[in-house]
Amino acid sequence: MSQIQLSHGGGGEETNRLIREMFYAHFANDILLAAEDAAVLSVAKNIAFSTDCFTVSPIFFAGGNIGKLAIAGTVNDLSMMGAKPLYLSAGFIIEEGFETAKLEQIVVSMAQELKVSGAKIVCGDTKVVPRGSADQIFITTSGIGGILKPGISANRLNEGDVLILSGDIGRHGAAVLMQREGLGVRGNIQSDCASLWPAVEALLRYDISVSAMRDATRGGLSAVSNEWARQSAVCLELEESAICIDDAVQGICELFGFDALDFANEGTFLIAVKAKDAQRALECLRGVEVSKNAAVIGRITRKKEGRVILHSAHGSSRYLEPPKGELLPRIC
């Protein structure tokens, strides 16, 4: 079978073969292979539960693909709540005629990305839709994780908390944008797409007093910081010069008039910690590959509740607004 056909989603022999040869082969674990109608799980008392749909175009981009993104995305949502990612479901909507080799490449990267956090895919579903009814492949993942540290919440930020950013910003948005048809630019920008659990795990292991964490996905750092300011009715004061932006990402912004603060990230997160733990948190994060460039970028105050203030290196300040209008569609 070199292409996915409608019969692969029909529930018959072809479906079974696809499940066996593709999904079972790469995602193998006892719960999945039990092949029941639903996965039977035993979990801790407090769990986090999240779901995400992935429609990114192009499906293969520098630094990842839709499969890696689908795992990292849900793993990161769980991690941000202080939950160890445990079990994931995976739903595939595949357009008739999609190359089986591409599907396998996607599934293999999903399996590889699962290893980073140790999470397992324990159930799933596949639908094949007629040509033209979907664009190549869409994936939905849902997941649960066991909460290791309760109380981490974007609603409970405190005055005095220090804000740490786990790395440079804007690489996912820039990488996807660059590969879009018709833009005609080339450059060495890799998406930051990655599972953040190792970084979160380190923070929890060293018992850092984390108030909140959030990955800066769609809408980028502008969106996340504004969400926090509103949710906790506090002011986030950021130092512009402390926010690291790769030269090539900034270059894309210069050419097309974007702001890297608005660009999506898929492996970069914002952390609010108690001031006393800020230095230890930095050391923890810098010891982990995915957050080795972590830096303090600001603090939480009461200066203007519900707003984000950006301080420039040359001594002026302005409010940072959440991004508006039509951002890039199908970024994740």
| Binding region for other proteins (CB under 8 A) | 182-184, 241, 247, 250-251, 254-257, 304, 309, 312-319, 321, 324-326
Residue type, 145: G
C-beta of 14 vs 239, nearer to other proteins:
239
Residue 303: closest CA among 237, 238, 227, 228? 237
Minimum CB distance to other proteins, residue 135 (Å): 18
Check if the beta carbon of residue 212 is closer than 8 Å to that of residue 163.
Answer: no
C-beta of 42 vs 257, nearer to other proteins:
257
Minimum CB distance to other proteins, residue 311 (Å): 9
C-beta of 85 vs 323, nearer to other proteins:
323
CA 321/CA 110 separation, integer angstroms? 35
Minimum CB distance to other proteins, residue 307 (Å): 8
CA 187/CA 165 separation, integer angstroms? 25
Residue 300: closest CA among 156, 146, 176, 183? 156
CA 173/CA 253 separation, integer angstroms? 10
Residue 134: closest CA among 53, 75, 69? 53
Minimum CB distance to other proteins, residue 272 (Å): 21
Minimum CB distance to other proteins, residue 231 (Å): 20
Minimum CB distance to other proteins, residue 164 (Å): 23
Minimum CB distance to other proteins, residue 85 (Å): 35
C-beta of 49 vs 256, nearer to other proteins:
256
Burial letters for 236-260: b for 16+ Cβ neighbours within 10 Å, e otherwise? bbbbbeebbbbebbbebbeeeebeb
CA 292/CA 287 separation, integer angstroms? 6
Distances (CA, A) of 156 to 45, 60, 78, 146: 22, 38, 18, 20
Check if the beta carbon of residue 120 is closer than 8 Å to that of residue 235.
Answer: no
C-beta of 35 vs 255, nearer to other proteins:
255
C-beta of 280 vs 304, nearer to other proteins:
304
Helix (H) or strand (E) holding 164: strand 162-165
C-beta of 40 vs 255, nearer to other proteins:
255
